[in-house]
Each structure stands twice: as C-alpha cells, then as structure tokens.
Amino acid sequence: MIDRVRDAFFALDTDFRFTYLNEEAEALLERSREHLIGRVMWDEFPETVETQFPDGFYRAMDEQVAVAFEVYHTPLETWFEVRAWPAEGGLSVHMRDVTDRKARETKLARNSAVVEAIQDGVVTLDDDNRILSINTTLGEALDVDAEAVRGDHVEALLAAGSVSPEDTLRVGRALSDVDVGNTSFRTLELPYTDASGVERVADIRVVPIDHESANIAVVARDITDQREYERVITSLHEVTRWLVQSNDPSEICAIAVHAGSDLLGLPISGIWLLDDEHGYLEPIAGTAGAHDEFGGLPRFRPGEGLVWDVFESGEIEHFENVHTHEGVYNPETPIRSEIIAPVGTHGVLITGSKRVDDFTETDMDLVSTLVENTGAALDRAIREQALEERTDQLERKTDHLEAVAAVLSRDLKGQLQTVAAALEDEQAGGSGPAVGSDEEETDAATGAWEFPLAEDTVRTTLDRAERLVDDVREFARTAISVGSRTRLDLEAAIEAAITASSLERPAVVVEADATLRADPDRFQTLLQTVFDDAARRSDSAVTIQIGLLGLEKPGADTRGFFLMDDADEIPPTKRDRVTEIRPERGADGRPDSGLGLPLARAIAEAHDWTLEVTGGQHGGTRIEIRDVTTLERH
C-alpha cells in the first residue's frame, strides 16, 4: 500500500539508517531500495547536513513530536514539504513536491501591490491624460461605464464625482509633475460625491507606469471611514475634556450618552451606575431615542439580564442578536444587536439597535474609548466628592466640637459649683447661705435653713453631669459619620429605645411597621434622644404616635417617618433653634437637658437624613425624619 503512495516515503531507525523506501523515494533519491537499506542518511546524502533535515529529524527523534518544514533541493531545483513523525524504532518521513505551489506564492507576493490596488479605484492614462482603462471598483463608485469613458479626458471622471474646480486643478498639477518627471509620485486627498450622492473622501496616488500606451496610473482609495474615525476620535478627546471638568456623576453620564448619540451614531443608549447601598444598577442618563423606545430605562437587579454578566466580567461584549442568548432581560424587546460596556467598576453603558449585527469593530473600539474616558472622569469626580465631603466633615466637626466644648464647660461648671456650694454649707454647720444669694432657701413654717440639695440630691446632680458627658461622647462619635448600616425593624428599634429612655409608662402607637437600613446603635440613640426630650417636656405619662411618610407614592424622595407626642409643645419661635447647640443657654435651653435634640439631628444628618421639628395636630410636638430612602413597608 505504501508503495502506491505518489509522494516519497521512507523510514529511518534511531541511528538514522534507512529501513524502508517506497518507489517514489527511490526515484527522488536516485538510489535503489537495496542500496540504501541499512545505510546512514547523512553518509549517503552529505549535502542534507546543511539543510533543515538534521534539526527537524533530531527534534522529532529526541522530543518524540511530529515536525514539518519546507526545504529546497538544489540539485533537483525542487521545493519539498517534509513531514516526519516518531514511529516504532525510528522515524517515518513523508516528502511532497511543492515547487508549483511555491512558484504561485512567489508570484502572488510579487503582485501583492497590484492585488491590493484592485480593491481600490484604478485608472490608466496616456500621454494626453486620456482614459485607457478603469477598473470595476472605480466604475461602480462613480456609476460610469468603462467602455463609455475610454478615450475621454480624465476630467470626465472628475466631473462624474462632482469634484470642485479647485480640486480638479490640483489633480492636473499632480499628473503634470509625474508626467514630466518632476517626481516619482504624487498623493493628495480628494473630496468627491459617489454614485449614491454621498460626499466622500479619496486618497489619490499618481504613479508613472510603462505598459504599452499607458504612462500614468491613478489609484484612488476611499478613506471616508478613516477620516470619520479620526474626526470622532478628535471629538472624543474634546468630550473627555468636558468629562473631566465635571464633578457631578450624573452630568458626566449625560455627557457620555449624548456624545455616543451625536458623535458615534448610537441613538439608543444609556448609562447605569451601581447603587452601593441597594446593590442594583440604577439608570442615570439615557438618550432621547432610548426614552422614546422604552418610555423609561429599567433598573437592573443582581442577576437580571445580560447586563449583570457583562458588568461582573468587566469586559465589553457585542451581542449580534440578543434574542439568541439565554437570560435576556426582556424577551419582547425590539432591540436585536447590543453593545454592553462596563464603565470601570461604576456601572455599564448599553447601546442597542433594532437590526441584527448592526455594530462593527470600529463601533466597539469607539465605545470602549468612550467608557474608558467616562470611567476615568467618574473616578476623578468621586475622589473630588470624597475630598469635599471630608473637608466639610472636618469643618463641621470643628464647629460641633467648639459648641460642645462651650456647653460642656458651662453645664459641668454649673453642676459642680452647685455641689461645691452645698458641701461648703454643710461644713459650715448649717450657718446658711448669705442673704440674697441664689442658694438661699427657708422653710415657710419654721424659717429654718434647709440643705439646698435635699430634694435634688447630689447624686441626681452628678447623674445629670454624667448624662451630659455621655451625650457629648455620643455626639462626638456619631455627629460626623456612622458605622455599618444593616436592615432594621422599625418597631423593634422603637421598643428598644423606649426601654432605654426616661419615659415612664409611655403609650406608643405605631401606625405601620417598616424596615430601613441604619447603624443600629446610632439609630437607637436617635430615637432614645427624641423620647427623652418628650419626657422632659411633660410632668405626666406621654403618648407618642409614630407613622410613615412618603410611602404612598412609590419612588418618593421624601419617604421617612414621624414621632408625634402630646407633651408640652415646643413653641414655633424655638423650633428652628431647638436642634442647634447654643452655648449661651445649653442644648435646648434647660440646664439639665444634656445635648438633647441637637444630638438626634446630628445622627440623622450622619445618615444623610433630615430632621425637622413641627407642631402636633392637637398640641405637642411632631418630629419628622425624612430622606430615608431605604425605608420599606413590611
């Protein structure tokens, strides 16, 4: 069977001795089978030592791998394709004559410039710049017949392409320079209009040739897409400048999607950013085409649609037809092809089309550039925001600490002076205070002096001082920032705060239970502070009503909750000041109040909430805490 193989085949043992040859190998090597069997190849054919044979054969033998190479046999003037592979006891070698193939490859290499030019428009001209021939590409571009224009002046082609008189003159000068030998070639960019009426740009190259009566060839390559790409890239650089000038993530996203629409021709596009608190991709900006098509952009929760797969992979993806992929977000979507590009770790840009496979590699490159620049701008904006927030926090902290220091200094000093005065009186043996002094107290029946702290004991006074110190510590700890937020049950948090508060036998009415995300310790302190404030404004049991705000309107930005008591009402004139630390009088105007509502307000603001004091429906005070975006009804 091997003898019937048309190509040469022979086998070698481990010492490179011939063990078999087929008839083609005998003819090729010009040696008989009987002569070569048992002889070493290198001894019989020493000329092969300087070729690829030794390296290839030794590698195949030593590494036990198949090898292939091409070698030129000088005595026969023949190219061979050699394949050798390990066999039991040596090597098997197959040689094929590929001289004809190599000749074709050489010819193709020599004519590569011509092959490339065939894809461009080509026209040959005689000494008078009259047309000898045009190729199909040029004829189709200008909708002219090659036979019809043969013999016409080259200006006929320029007129067919609506080339301006000024550019026609430039072409004429280029032809003249090459014709008279002033230069070996000329190049110029030439605006023209194609057969469809579309304005385009061609790169024109004029070269001399010597082929029968032709002495000039003009090669025209359409570079419209290239110039458009360069224009878009230049515009994207300008867009990048706008992006980095903004510190607002929403504005950055809006600039990016409109740049995609106006510059890249992506009318159905949008950007979604990751909401760190809720864990979903929130739509931030979209083109008019996207809103018109969908009537609003969806929110993508983890695992929903192809979007999350791309976002988590961090690699841009092109979907030729989203309907052929499992997990598409909306199986009824009119969108067919789609590009989803991660914007760093911030979110994704999505652009879609109603046509299948409507995006090119160029679109992918441009979208990739856009999202890279957008991601860098968002990185910068977030850093700037963090710096500004940190600066604001430090300024607020300084103001708060100065105010707290004033309160602490005055209140503690007052409490300690009271204790000191009482002790001095006791040591004086009941001699009584000076007439007209603040400590002067007499019994209405006997006129005898009594210990000034008989009712408000020293322990109570010191307890007030301790409470003040605790409030100050809590204020310093929570006024600027909070710890990790977790999902809390509102009713459970209220019960814990009431237990820790100074309310006695309160009646609490919770209209509806809900959950929210907050720092558990700080949130309890906020509620407890509000309850303690209500207790200080009442001499009897207090009723507190707690209700929800903003949940009747889905998506409302003002959602939150209120606490309304029936204790003494905070006068309207003092409501704006009651949540401020006022060193001249105390946190809320009472010497035993500690920091009070200013502490509650500080904790709310540290959660990015707002706290407002208003009046109740039938007297009392209503405290509203709004902007609690994570509040959800049970």
CATH number assigned to the domain comprising residue 321: 3.30.450.40
Q: Which residues contact 75 (CB under 8 A, 6 or more apart)?
A: 47
Do 203 and 321 belong to one domain? no
Q: How far apart are CA 214 and CA 207, in angstroms?
A: 11
Instruction: Write out the two tokens for 438.
Output: 């603040």
420 in a structural domain: no
Higher-pLDDT residue of 592, 475: 475
Query: Would you state the pLDDT for residue 619?
Result: 82
Determine which helix (DSSP H) or strand (DSSP E) holds 564, and give its type and residue range.
Answer: strand 560-565
Q: How far is CA 55 from the centre of its chain?
A: 52
Total domain count, the chain? 4
Confidence of residue 402 (pLDDT cuts 50, 70, 90): low
Instruction: Write out the two tokens for 341.
Output: 């590009």
Q: How far apart are CA 633 and CA 420, in angstroms?
A: 53
Q: How far is CA 388 from the centre of its chain?
A: 22
Q: What is the mean pLDDT of residues 265-270?
A: 88
Kindly state the percentage of the chain with pLDDT values over 70.
80
Do 17 and 140 belong to one domain? no
Residue 584 has pLDDT above 70, yes or no: no
492 in a structural domain: yes
Confidence of residue 103 (pLDDT cuts 50, 70, 90): confident
Q: How far apart are CA 225 and CA 202, in angstroms?
A: 10
Coil, helix or strand at residue 600: helix
Confidence of residue 577 (pLDDT cuts 50, 70, 90): confident
Of 48-52, 72-76, 334-338, 460-464, the range with the highest mean pLDDT is: 334-338
Exposed/middle/buried for residue 389 (C-beta within 10 Å: 0-12, 13-18, 19+): exposed
Query: Would you state the pLDDT for residue 116?
Result: 43
Q: Contact at 8 Å (CB) between 81 and 70? A: yes
Give the per-residue SS3 of 13-50: ECCCEEEEECHHHHHHHCCCHHHHECCEHHHHCHHHHH
Higher-pLDDT residue of 524, 243: 524
Residue 366 has pLDDT above 90, yes or no: no
Do 158 and 248 belong to one domain? no
Do 481 and 498 belong to one domain? yes
Confidence of residue 408 (pLDDT cuts 50, 70, 90): low
Q: What is the mean pLDDT of residues 512-538?
A: 91
Of 20-24, 102-106, 358-362, the range with the highest mean pLDDT is: 20-24
Q: How far apart are CA 271 and CA 346, in angstroms?
A: 10
362 in a structural domain: yes
Q: Contact at 8 Å (CB) between 579 and 600? A: yes
Do 98 and 199 belong to one domain? no
The least confident of 23-37, 206-220, 405-419 is 405-419
Do 613 and 490 belong to one domain? yes
Q: Contact at 8 Å (CB) between 322 and 246? A: no
542 in a structural domain: yes
Q: How far apart are CA 160 and CA 190, in angstroms?
A: 13
Coil, helix or strand at residue 326: coil
Give the per-residue SS3 of 173-219: HHHHHHHCCCCCCEEEEEEEECCCCCEEEEEEEEEEEEECCEEEEEE
**Of 51, 41, 42, nearest in space to 21 by CA:** 41
Q: Contact at 8 Å (CB) between 53 and 73? A: no
Helices (H), 433-511: 458-478, 490-500
Q: How far apart are CA 525 and CA 471, in angstroms?
A: 10
Could you list the residue range(s) of the whole structural domain that residue 585 is in?
466-633
**Of 627, 585, 632, 582, nearest in space to 609 by CA:** 627
Do 117 and 132 belong to one domain? yes
Query: Would you state the pLDDT for residue 73?
Result: 77
**Measured between alpha carbons, how far apart are the two ends of the chain, in Å?**
84
Residue 463 has pLDDT above 60, yes or no: no
Q: What is the overall mean pLDDT for the chain?
A: 82
Where is the domain boundary, 87, 107, 127? 107
Query: Would you state the pLDDT for residue 467?
Result: 57
Query: Would you state the pLDDT for residue 407?
Result: 60
562 in a structural domain: yes
| 16: amino acid identity, one letter | F
User: DSSP labels for 521-541?
Assistant: HHHHHHHHHHHHHHHHT-SS-
| 289: amino acid identity, one letter | G
396 in a structural domain: no
Query: Would you state the pLDDT for residue 105?
Result: 73
CA dihedral 2, 38, 85, 29 (to 10 degrees): -60
Token pair 């507190």 is found at 544
Query: Would you state the pLDDT for residue 388?
Result: 83
- Tens of pLDDT, residue by residue over 309-319, are 999 999 999 99
Residue 341 has pLDDT above 90, yes or no: yes
Where is the domain boundary, 199, 222, 245? 222
Q: What is the mean pLDDT of residues 7-22?
A: 92
Residue 621 has pLDDT above 90, yes or no: yes
Of 99-113, 116-130, 243-257, the range with the highest mean pLDDT is: 243-257
Buried b (16+ CB within 10 A) or exposed e, 313-351: eeebbbbeebeeeeebeeeebebbbbbbbbbeebbbbbb
Buried b (16+ CB within 10 A) or exposed e, 279-292: eebebbbbbebbee
What are 73's strand-pairing partners? 78
Do 475 and 590 belong to one domain? yes
Higher-pLDDT residue of 634, 192: 192
453 in a structural domain: no
What are the distances in angstroms from CA 416 to CA 36, 175, 433, 470? 120, 105, 17, 16
**Of 406, 350, 362, nearest in space to 582 by CA:** 406
Instruction: Write out the two tokens for 569.
Output: 């009402």
- Tens of pLDDT, residue by residue over 206-223, are 999 887 788 999 999 999
- Domain containing residue 480: CATH number: 3.30.565.10
Where is the domain boundary, 205, 222, 239? 222
Higher-pLDDT residue of 184, 413: 184
Higher-pLDDT residue of 75, 157: 157
Do 73 and 160 belong to one domain? no
Do 210 and 310 belong to one domain? no
Confidence of residue 491 (pLDDT cuts 50, 70, 90): very high
Query: Would you state the pLDDT for residue 199?
Result: 93
188 in a structural domain: yes
Q: Which residues contact 583 (CB under 8 A, 6 or more apart)?
A: 403, 406, 407, 410
pTM: 0.44
- Domain containing residue 140: CATH number: 3.30.450.20
Exposed/middle/buried for residue 293 (C-beta within 10 Å: 0-12, 13-18, 19+): middle
DSSP single-letter state for residue 571 = P
Do 470 and 611 belong to one domain? yes
Half-sphere exposure of 137 (CA within 13 A, CB side): 15
What are 11's strand-pairing partners? 20, 92
Instruction: Write out the two tokens for 415.
Output: 């409490």
Q: How far apart are CA 60 and CA 530, in angstroms?
A: 87
Query: Would you state the pLDDT for residue 455?
Result: 45
Residue 472 has pLDDT above 90, yes or no: no
Confidence of residue 241 (pLDDT cuts 50, 70, 90): confident
Query: Would you state the pLDDT for residue 278?
Result: 85
Do 619 and 479 belong to one domain? yes
Q: How far apart are CA 266 and CA 251, in angstroms?
A: 19
Of 95-104, 158-167, 422-431, the range with the highest mean pLDDT is: 158-167
- How many CB atoms within 10 Å of residue 628? 24
